[in-house]
Every structure is written in C-alpha cells, then in structure tokens.
Structure 1
C-alpha cells in the first residue's frame, strides 16, 4: 500500500510539473535610471505558497554577491490581478501565499543594475547587459521547467544577443532555470561578426567603441576556437556567442554554457602584446565550453544558488583551462615554442616566488575560493596561492607526466576526452576527486594518486628539473648565485605617496617592524618618491638602512637590515629534440 501511495504521489507530482510553466519578462523602459521591471509568472500550479529566490552568486565567479540587494518594490498578484500576501523569509527569499485556488501567480519587482563587469548587470542609456543570475528569481520546485523570457526595451536599440533560442519577437526560450541563469543577454546597437567552428555558428558582438580590425580578429578568433575544439574533438553547442565589452580600462572574462563575456580596453586591439593577451582570454573562456561547463566537478552543476558550492577541483576548472589558453596560442601559431616556454617559466616563477605557495595546498585554494581568492587582503600573498596560476603549473607537470609515462602515446588532451565521454555524454553527473584521479591514472597507465597527493593536497616543493628532464628539457634559475638586496616590501604609489602594500612573511621588513599602510618618506636621508627597489639595490646586502616613515599621521624612524634576495627566475630550454614525449607535449596537432 505504501508503495502504491508513493507511486501515485510521484505520478501526481510529474503530471503537475508537466502542466506548470514559468515565463519571465524584463521591461527596460527608462534605461537612464538603471532600473528595469522584472516579472516571473508561474502557471499551472496548486501550491499553497511559492518561495521566490534570488541567487546569491554567479556561476563561474565564486563569491557570494547578494544580488537580492538590488531588488525593491516587490509585489505578487493572481491571474485576475488581485494582490497576494507576500513576506520575506530570509535574505534572498520572498514567500507568496496562494489564497484561494489560484493556478497562476506573478511576482514583479524593480531591479537596479549599474555594475559594469562580466559577472554583474548594467543598464544605462547606451545598452543593457543582463547577467541573468543577478536578474531573474526562481522557484525551487519549478527550476527544471522550460520557459521563456520576453525583452521589452527602447525602440532605438536594434539588437539583442544571447545563446538562448529565439521563440518569438524579442522572446527567448530556455530548457530550465540553469540555462536561463547561464545565458547572459546583451541589448543595444552592437556590431557583430560571424564564423563557424565544426559546423557550429559562432557570433561575437562588440559593445562600445573600439579600434578592432574585425576582419583580422574574425580570422584569429576562428583559428583559436578551432584549436580549442580539436582538444576534445567534439563541439557540444548549437550556437556560441562571445559578448565583448570594450571598456576604458579593465579586463577579465566569465564563461557560460554556450557563450562567454570578455572585457578589452577599447583601444588595445592595435597593440600586439595586448591583442595576443586578449586572444588568450578569449581562448580561456571558450575552452570552458568543455572544461567546467561539461567536464565538471560534481559540485558545479546543477547549482545551489543559495549558498557557496565547494569543491577541491577549481584547479581543474581554471588551472587546466589556464594551461590550455597559453598552449593554444602556441598550437595556433601565434607563439613560437620559445615564447611558450617563456610564458610557462613566468607562470612557475609567479608560483614559486609567492610565500603563500608554501602555506596553502591547491585543494584548499579551490575549496576556500569563496572567502580567500575572491576576498584578498594585504596578507594574502603570505597565506594563499591562486588555483589559476598554480593549477596551470600543475597541469603542465601532469601533462608531462602522462606524456612521459606513455612514451608519447597519450597526453592531457586524452584525459579531457575521457572525462567528456564518461562524465558528460554518458552520465552528465560531474566527477569527484577520486574519479578524476582514476581517470588520470587510466590514461597515464599507472597509479597517479601519489602525484595528486603531492601536487594537490600538500605544499611539497615541485621537482621541476625531474619533470622537464622527462621531455628532454632543462630548467635553470638565472638568479642562482646572484646577490641582491631584499626587504620584503611591496609598495605602491597612491595619491602621490609611496605606501607599503604588502610585506612578505619572514622578510627583513616583517622582522624589523614595518606595517602595511606605512608611508615611506626617506631612506638614509634620501627622499624616496617612486621606486623603492631601485634605491635598495644600491645598498649592500646586510647593511642597515634608516627608513623615515609616516604611520597614522605620526613620523617614525625604523632601521631595516637587508638580506639576500630569494626570488627565483626560472628559464626553460629544450635539451633533447628527438624526445618522443617532447614531440607529444609540444605537438601542434
């Protein structure tokens, strides 16, 4: 009898879900105010109440941003326009009581949007960029339903770009809330370029003034996308959209299921180094189409939008992607082999010269991203390491290990192909730490748990010489044997003052009583206004130096005794050209 009841209940729930629908609209009638009116209508329901929730974070950006803070003037009505009781039950939830037997409830609210970034929304006189997890609420039990979103905007705006399917004029459809939240919308008068990769239509829209050579950029972006797509060998999208925000200054990007948003200083396209860096950013966000959006840790989908989603594997999501975005510049022919090795050397130097790499394991860097990576302070250099930068370095070592272990038969590409097949195409479940290690071991042909334990869950030093020797390369420290004065002070010029920004742990400055925020006025009676390091380099190591500083408005004198610098400057060179593992590792195929 119990079994029959459960079956009938499940059937009722299924039928109810099938009958229900969720539809949104956003009305941007006066963009100058940065406000929009948002409605969400849930129909075909019999619930006694509905809890409408605003996400607290944006997938891909691991920080609780409290999007509910931008919501006001909330109202709920039934299908006849009668107001329904509404109360707020927690920081991001509004409960609507269904008085009577209403089968349709509409919630409306005013949304303030004036945060110009890739992870938030902005509405102004020129355009609207909607990062949908910061715009649209959801009802948890109806989150898996398909629906539509209707856009209402000024007639002067001619274009709306998104990766969602167009179902009617200015109306787009989605299969579930996760897809809506992960499909940003750009509305305005943007210019677009088009190309195909593996038969999949691609579009890039340019928001704001810029000096981009669109013909050249189209060819370059297409080439990079083809390089990235070849890694897994299958393209999962029906279409793909790049939203390019051309800004005065800034940068960064954010991945989505079938699109990405990237920023570029508007007049940097004509600067070769800046242009290549931007291509690398585009490659990074594009590769997330596979790595993290489909090849993903279990914790990263379906999402819990109400709280942090913790995982040890952000180094896979971001570190491996960072490894491939630079490798793609080499594989696509934009970098020579020496340029690529120089970039990898710089990445290693960045990790090894940060004190936090000795303190925080990569797994912890991933897990604590919510409270550390995205909330840095003046002491972060001593306590944390980025899962981007160290993840990139570990990905390189992992690629080398696999390539060497299989004598050039396999590499990290094969791991990603396996994960895509097993954990996306077959199950779409995501993987655990253990399952990732098993997959790597399978491709490498040996137990890779010792590698993971050392590289991911500890802060043991990496034996770079041993790893690069596996592929016929040598790595040397050009600073070895050099004596250079070191204080441990990292400074910045702010409002014409030379201020201490951070102090390295166990450095002369930390031992001798300096503090972050101190203003450096003079050293050995010499006025210092700009570069402190240039002056310190003229002082012999071990020689006391008298600093005149200002702290909290009071003048102090502190004596600092410099020590020999500890910074590494690694350089990678190829030693054995005929190495099969080298040929596989740095193959362009």
Structure 2
C-alpha cells in the first residue's frame, strides 16, 4: 500500500478516537480589534520635520529628533472623554520596497521618548502590529516631538552594517516614524542630516541649505524620502555621466578612488544604452550611489531616482581581473523602469504597513536580470564573452535546481518572505529566489521566439519600450497584472504567451528553460577549464565552485559550503558544513581536490574524501569519472545556420 493511502486509512480509523472529551476547557476565539486607522489618499495637515545626527561613525548610533503634527481629523484635540487622552498612532516602516518583504529593523530603535512641548507622553506598542506605537495625546496638542536612537549593526551577524569608520548609508526608513491613516505620498516631510566633519554626501534629494556638516533637504513627501537614501563618506568622488545621471563614489580608502576615463566611459554608456533601450527616462535625475567597501555591508537596491550599490574595494583598481560586480549597476538602473515606474499591482502599497504580494517577481526581477546582463554587454561594463560565460553559468546553475520538479517557479517569488535569504541546507532542492536567473532564461527564450516569429523584425526590446517606457521625468508608479504582460507581448508578436508563461512559471518541470540558448544560436557545453567569469565569481565569494563536476562548492580551509542535491557528492553522503581533511589519502587543499577529480577522468574508481563531522571522521566515496567540468556556450554552426544569431544581435550596442 502506498504511504498516502496508508495514512488515509489510519486517519479514517482514528478520527472518532481523537475527538476531545467534553469535560475539557474550550476557549473561543475573538479577533483582535484593529486600532490602526486605514490609509487615506488625502493631504496630511502639516509637515513633519526630521533631524538625524549621523556623526557617530565609531559606534554607529544615529540620534533622531522628529516633530510630527497631530491630525485633528483622526486624533481630536478635545477627546470625547477628557479623562482619557486620544491615541495618536505612529508607524515604523515594515514592508520595504525593493526588499519584497517585511524587513524594517524596528528592534534597533532605542531610547524612545515622546513629548508635547516639555510634557513627556506615555506610549504603548500595539499588541497585534508591533510596528505601531500609540501615544497618549493631551488636550490642546497640535504636534508631538519624538526622540530616539537607531542603534545600527556593528557586526554582520546583527544585520547589515550601515555606519563604518569612513562612510555611512543613511536610510531614512530606519530613522523615522510616520502617522497612520494616510498614504505616505501625502505626508510632507523636511529632513535634515548632520554628517561627520568634512564628509561629503550624495542622494537624489536636493538640498535646501547647507551649513558646515549640516544639510537641510527640500521638503518632499515621505514616500519619496524613504526612496532617497544617502551615501556619505570621508573619501568621496562624484562624476557627471550625462545631463541627468551622476556616479557618486565612497571608498574605505582614497587609494581605491581611481576610476580611469575608460571606466567612467563605460558607466556613461550604460546610462545612454538604458535610455535608448526603454526609449524614455522615468526620472528627473539619477544618482548611482556606489560604495567600494569591505567595512560597510554590501547592497544592491533600486530606487526611482537612485540606487544603492555596494561592491568590492578594488572595483576600479583591479578592473582587469574580471567583470566582478560590474553587472550590479546595470541591474539596478533597469529597475528605474521595471520595478519602480512599472510595478506589479500587488507590490504597490499606500504605506509601509500593507503586505506586498510578490507573485510577479519573475517579471520585476527576472526581466531586470535579463536586461541587466544585456546592458552590461552593450555598455562595455561586461565584454561579450564575459556575458556569454555568465549566461552559461546561469543556465548550468539553474539545471542544478532540481527543486523545480516539485516547486514551480512562481512559488519561489514568496522566498523573500519565507526565508529572508537565510542559508538553506539544500538550496538546489528547496529552491531559493529562482525567479532572478530562471526568469532571465525565460525572457531570453521569449526574446528569441519574438525574433523567430517576426522574421527578425521585432524583439523583446519592442516589448520593453511599449511596456516599461513612459513620460520622461515621470517617477510615479504605473501598476500592472499578469494579463497586462500577456497583452503587451501579443501586441508585439502574436503567440500563445499565456500558455508559454503558464508552462514556464506556474508549472513544475524537469530541467531549466534553455530553449533561448539554442534559438539564439548557442548551446550549453561543459569544458575542463573555468571561464574568467567563474574564476572572478569564485574569488569574490572566496570559494571553489566544483558544483558542475562532483557537486560541491568549497568555502575555504576545506569547509564544504554547499552540496548539489542528487549530485555525486550528495549520493556519497556529503553535506554542507563538513570539513574535508584528506583526498585520496593526501592532505586536503583546493588543488589536491581538483587534481583528484581530474585524475579520475574516465576512471572506474572513486574519489575518496575523508571529512570531519563534529568530532567524528568519515570516508566518503564519490563516484564521478567525468573530470573537472565547467559550463560554456558554444556557437551552433553548420549549413544554413546564421553566423550572427539572435543572442549576438541582442548583445549588440544601440548607441555609439
């Protein structure tokens, strides 16, 4: 009998036996009262004023003073019961755009006090929504003052480090509160920041005044404020890329601030290629905020008129070592169109309390991933070969995600909420935000189908211009749903796009969608030498990627970083966290492991791995005779094959 049938039989036989005795206490459920006003789309009466002292670059403590007008429409100055003061509800941002999840770090608020003039006010946290604070407002109060600290992470185990000795990342959502009951775009705010002495700052906000190390920014709405972070630092440069775009760089040390003319030219071309691709610019000004750092936490986060980008310190000084993180900026600027201006309907919310629905991230992030690599190649930030090597690694990597046999791609769009990027024991089986790279492969296939069906007249670029393009300077939001995507695709090239998306996104499958490679003139092959892309990626991640051969990624000092599900290493019993001591009887080193794999090419023996698990040691016999294997793309040749395929045309620059 199958297990499912057996369990059903057991359940049927025991249902009556598990009924609760009548003499046990049985509570009834009462839903908690919703004490927080729903957001309304009307102007908030008055302007908040926010002062952030960001000078503590030693211990990373932000000191905040915020004055907030009290709305008499929701919180009457004269309460119905004078003996019981009205409750004024303030919210801390919880659901953060670009994070696709509730990531507000309210646990880092400290020393929280509220005042009406000199009178200290009582406050209580909502017992259902812990991001809501109720303040007792006495009669006659027109505004309150909040004073508190944001005690930022000092080690990576506490969260992302945003304050380092020579730079900081001021993220307004971390250091502010806002009144409940209003769309955040309707709440005016004037922000002031005090930076360390002689530091320079960059943000898409425009300054109203500046005196010494204090900057007062022009009044804006709270939605725009949260969407306009700051990078500031002791070692700072800004470079004008175009009339609208600037590259603002902070570094751990001045010696890393050495971009060459060719480097800046590539970033300049990136902006031009992006605007040419989409046929518009949904911003009045765009600021790349770029940190060259090992001291501040890494980041890649999109905003309407800027992006937060954290890369290795040698981004410019070690340019020839490989593409490294140079696909980050192309990805983030693409989001100005895809994700910020055009946004899935379920991912737009009127405030930072309402949950987001992430099921269209295969468009939001998947197509951004696709265009990010295309723009990297077109701008010269990536060479064409680096781009082909990256696509090969992505295709091969997605083939290893055997979790697709039980988990459809759309379900991984919930991973930002489900797992919050915490490490998984078997990520290739569990899957993890696969909508990025599998999304890239899906949109590559869509591009090649459009080219084929239209005899080369149209491509996904036509979709990008019609769907993501808009009015120049419009950094508002235009929402869409799945049906809008399908309709837009059909307007470019009639095809059964509904079925295509249903099969690729909403159903399980046995292998990664690689048709776009062959339709585009290439095939995925495996070679015995890693590409420059893989070597650079391993160097950045401080790892050795042998996942394409025995199925392990080594994390240094013999530690297994991950094991591919159902790979030779998996079948031998290996798992992440083990430490390898010896390979084939010899002391472990990365080179020794690679040599053992290669020496067993076409052999009949097994690779003997001696590893430590806790205090115990075990032998693991890995059955792999394929030698070292690394993915690559090979051009399809033969009679009647176009020498320049669809992928070649896709990566060709549009601007001079």
Q: What's the offset of the Cα at 1:231? A: 1.1
What is the deviation of 1:541?
Answer: 5.2
Per the TM alignment, residue 111 of structure 1 is displaced from its structure 2 partner at its CA by 1.4
- TM-score relative to the length of structure 1: 0.85
Give the C-alpha shift of residue 41 in structure 1.
1.7
Task: Output aligned runs, 1:282-361, within 5 Å.
Answer: 282-302=329-349, 305-306=352-353, 309-333=356-380, 337-361=384-408
Output the CA distance in 1 between the equivalents of 2:291 and 2:238.
14
Q: Point out where structure 2 has 5 or more consecutive residues left out of the alignment.
A: 1-39, 76-85, 529-545
Q: Distance in 2 between matches of 1:248 and 1:553?
A: 33
Q: Is the 8 A contact 1:63 1:374 kept in 2?
A: no
SS at the partner of 2:58?
helix
Corresponding residue number in structure 1 for 2:552: 490
Equivalents in 2 of 1:485, 1:351: separation in Å?
12
Partner of 2:578: 518
CA–CA distance in 2 between the matches of 1:357 and 1:423? 39
Task: Say whether residues 1:402 and 2:428 are aligned partners.
Answer: no
Match in the other structure for 1:88: 125
Stretch of structure 1 that moved more, 441-450 or 62-71:
62-71
Is 1:411 matched with 2:465? Answer: no
User: Does the aligned pair in 2 maintain the 1:361–1:458 contact within 8 Å?
Assistant: yes
Partners of 2:625 and 2:310 in 1: CA distance: 41
Equivalent position of 1:220 in the other structure: 266
1:171 and 2:216 aligned: yes
Change (3 A) 1:275 1:300: farther
Does the 8 Å CA contact 2:282/2:475 hold for their aligned counterparts?
no
Check whether the contact 1:252–1:262 (CA below 8 A) recurs between aligned residues.
Answer: yes
Quote the residue 2:653 is aligned against. Answer: 588
Match of 1:10 in 2: none
Counterpart among 186, 191, 216 of residue 236 in structure 2 = 191
Tell me whether 1:206 sits opposite 2:253 in the alignment.
Answer: no
What SS is found at the alignment partner of 2:141?
coil
Residue correspondence of structure 1 range 503-582 to structure 2 within 5 A: 503-530=563-590, 531-539=592-600, 543=605, 547-559=609-621, 561-562=623-624, 569-573=631-635, 575=637, 576-577=641-642
CA distance in 2, matches of 1:384, 1:455: 15
Would the aligned equivalents of 1:486 and 1:565 in 2 still touch at CA under 8 Å?
A: no
Q: Is the 8 A contact 1:486 1:508 kept in 2?
A: no
CA separation of 1:218 and 1:41: change in aligned 2, threshold 3 A: same
1:133 maps to 2:173:
yes
Alignment of 1:401-480 (within 5 A): 401-420=449-468, 428-460=477-509, 467-468=516-517, 470-471=519-520, 473-478=521-526
1:157 aligns with 2:183: no
Task: Give, in angstroms, the shift of residue 228 of structure 1.
Answer: 0.9
Task: Write the distance in 1 (CA, Å) between the matches of 2:436 and 2:288.
Answer: 22
Q: After superposition, give the CA deviation of every residue in 1:267-315 in whole Å (9 maximum; x if it has no partner).
A: 3413334574444322221121111111221233236534752312222
Confirm or deny: 8 A CA contact 2:281 2:471 kept in the other structure: no
Match of 1:105 among 116, 119, 144: 144
Cα distance, 1:479–1:322 mapped onto 2, change above 3 Å: same
CA RMSD of aligned residues (A): 3.5
- Of the structure 1 ranges 97-106 and 60-69, higher mean CA displacement relative to structure 2 is found in 60-69
Tell me by how many angstroms 1:444 deviates.
2.0
Q: SS at 1:299's partner residue?
A: helix
Q: Any idea what SS the aligned residue of 1:321 has?
A: helix
Q: Cα offset for 1:430?
A: 1.3
Contact 1:43–1:104 (8 Å) recurs in 2:
yes
Asked if the contact 1:408–1:584 (Cα under 8 Å) also holds between the matched residues in 2, the reply is no
Q: Structure 1 273/440 Cα, relative in aligned 2: closer, same or farther at 3 Å?
A: farther
Aligned to 2:435, what secondary structure does the other structure show?
Answer: coil
Please report how far the alpha carbon of residue 379 of structure 1 lies from its aligned counterpart in structure 2 after TM superposition: 1.0
| Cα distance in 2, alignment partners of residues 465 and 99 from structure 1 | 65
CA contact (8 A) 1:221 1:279 kept: no
C-alpha contact (below 8 Å) 1:240/1:258 kept by paired residues: yes
Residue number among 300, 303, 308 corresponding to 1:253 in the alignment: 300
Task: Give how far 1:322 is off.
Answer: 1.9
Q: Residue 68 of structure 1 aligns with which residue?
A: 106
Give the structure 1 partner of residue 11 of structure 2: none
Structure 1 unaligned residues grouped into runs of 5+ = 1-12
Cα–Cα, structure 1 residues 19 and 63, in superposed 2: closer, same or farther, change >3 Å? closer
| SS of alignment partner, residue 430 of structure 1 | strand
What is the CA-CA distance between 1:466 and the residue it aligns to? Answer: 5.3
Q: 1:499 aligns with which of 559, 563, 574?
A: 559
Q: 1:273 to 1:453 in 2, by over 3 A?
A: farther
Q: Deviations over 1:85-144 (max 9, x none)?
A: 211224322211212131111221111124689x95633553432122222222232422
Q: Is the 8 A contact 1:485 1:563 kept in 2?
A: no
1:76 Cα deviation after fit? 0.8
Question: Residue 8 of structure 1 aligns with which residue?
Answer: none
Give yes or no for contact 1:372–1:384 (8 Å, CA) kept in 2.
no
How many Å separate the matches in 1 of 2:383 and 2:104?
44
Which residue does the alignment assign to 1:22?
A: 48
- Alpha-carbon deviations, 1:538-584, whole Å to 9, x = none? 34655356554332212344555447689783524154337796675
> Contact 2:101–2:416 at 8 Å: present in 1 too?
yes
**Partner-residue secondary structure (3-state), 1:316:** helix
Instruction: Work out the CA distance in 1 between the residues paired with 2:204 and 2:439.
Output: 29
Displacement of 1:351 after TM fit?
1.4
In 1, the alpha carbon distance for the partners of 2:307 and 2:403 equals 31
Change (3 A) 1:541 1:135: farther
Distance 1:518 1:478, change over 3 A: closer
Equivalence for 1:368: 415
Q: CA deviation at 1:83?
A: 1.4
Q: Please tell me whether the aligned partners of residues 273 and 379 of structure 2 are also in contact (alpha carbons under 8 angstroms).
A: yes
Contact 2:596 2:607 in 1 (8 A): no
